[in-house]
Amino acid sequence: MRQLLFTIVFALAAGSECFGYGSIACGNLNNLIYCRGFTDVPSFAEADAHAMELCKNTAQSRNECNVILRFNNECNSIAIAPVPNSSLVIGRGNDTQAAIADALATCRNKYSVPYCQIATTSCDSYTIAVAPPPPPQQRPRQPDLNQATPVRANDIEKEDHRFDFLSDPAFYRALVLAKLFQDIWTGIGLGLGILFVIVVYAKRAAIVNFVIHGNLPYKIETRSQDIEILFVRSQRSNWYGRAIFGFTAQMGMSDHQLLLVRRYWLGRVIAFDSLRRRRQNELARLHLQLAAQAESKPKDDKPLSQFLSFFRTLFFCLFWLLRSLISFLIGFLFIRVNVAKLVRGRLVESADLTLLMEAKAAIEETSRYLKEYLQLAETFDNREEVYEPPA
């Protein structure tokens, strides 16, 4: 009986000194996160005060700290996720390992990250520090309290996770899709290129005929024994009732003469250009000359002046080139008659009879020139000619 009484007394005495209140405070200093815990005190207020004091003394700086957790007779672990603002996750358990495992699992599942960092782990009678504890003289009351290593928000773990994406199936699916799209575009470009080459090869005769001979026909519809021009005069009224005069000029020649015209590349010989067409062509040539002569001298030898001078020169060169191109394209809107068009038949219309008479005279002159040219060209057949100068 006395032994039982002594046992109860000693148990009550031991229990009277066992406290289970604790707090964890965390702070942020220069993107460094600190968590400090304090346990085994008779009240939460005292635990908060000690935890805040430990947190504020971190790195000899009175940084801002806040109590994030109070606990009683349990183990708690704080994990930091490698996400913006370094979010904290709390894990609980009956012992240290269980609390750490719960914190890591909760952190990974909540933020979908491959790893998390344990900041501190505290139990009702002790605190687990991530780094070795400081010397005892710095911790007079609790030599084994938490002194966790500061954690950087952008460098939480030292492990190399640069190649973790190789184990993700989504990476390979994206890689296959990207390769598939690239192959599709490559195939489309190659197919269009091959199609273009086939079309050009199939139409090579027509392309050469258009570029060199001005789309000169291979067979002439109006055959004749010699070069001649058939003029068919006409007139009509335009949409606002003005009379428009015109004529259709059709050049006739023999098959042999048509062959000679093709041989000597005479299809693009110009028979007549209207005044407006000649003016636009002259403007195009003038603008090309101005582009070639564009030059701006710098005011001094400073780099800024040199750069401005180069910029002005480039600007005026491009400006005159653009003006030349515009004048050249506008020229296509006005009348031009060449030999190939005359062979096919060309309608020339204008409200100005003077312009029509000039065009008719120019076409007649071109027919005489063409006839003389072909007659002279046929004499270059290895024949001999003797010239005797007059006495």
Spell out the residues 6+ positions from residue 56 whose beta carbon is closer than 8 angstroms to its own. 27, 62, 63, 65
User: Does the pLDDT value for residue 103 go beyond 80?
Assistant: yes
Six token digits for residue 342: 């005359």
**Beta-carbon neighbour count of residue 331 at 10 Å?**
20
- The pLDDT, as a whole number, for residue 16 is 41
For residue 220, pLDDT beyond 70: yes
Is the pLDDT score of 353 beyond 80?
Answer: yes
- Of the pLDDT bands very low, low, confident and very high (cuts 50, 70, 90), residue 80 is confident
59: alpha, beta or left? (left if phi > 0; alpha if psi -120 to 50)? left
Is the model's pLDDT at 167 over the cut of 60? yes
Q: What band does 360 get if pLDDT is binned at 50, 70 and 90?
A: very high
Alpha-carbon torsion angle 190, 191, 195, 196, nearest 10: -30
Verdict on whether the full-model pTM lies above 0.75:
no
Mean pLDDT, the chain, integer: 80
Q: Is 264 left (phi over 0), alpha (psi -120 to 50) or beta?
A: alpha
**pLDDT of 15 higher than 90:** no
Tens-digit pLDDT profile for residues 308-322: 989 999 999 999 999
Mean pLDDT of 346-361: 93
- Quick one: average pLDDT of 236-246? 92
Count of Cβ atoms closer than 10 Å to residue 157 Cβ = 13
CA–CA separation, 37 vs 1, rounded Å?
Answer: 44
pLDDT value, residue 65: 80
The half-sphere exposure of 43 on its side-chain side, counting CA atoms within 13 A, is 3
Q: In the predicted model, what is the mean pLDDT of residues 288-307?
A: 87
* Least reliable range by pLDDT among 133-142, 149-158, 189-198: 133-142
The pLDDT-based confidence of 155 (bands split at 50, 70, 90) is very low
What residues have CB less than 8 Å from 298, skipping those under 6 apart? 305, 306, 308, 309
Report the alpha-carbon distance of residue 120 to residue 35 in Å, rounded.
Answer: 6
- Evaluate if residue 379 carries a pLDDT over 80: yes
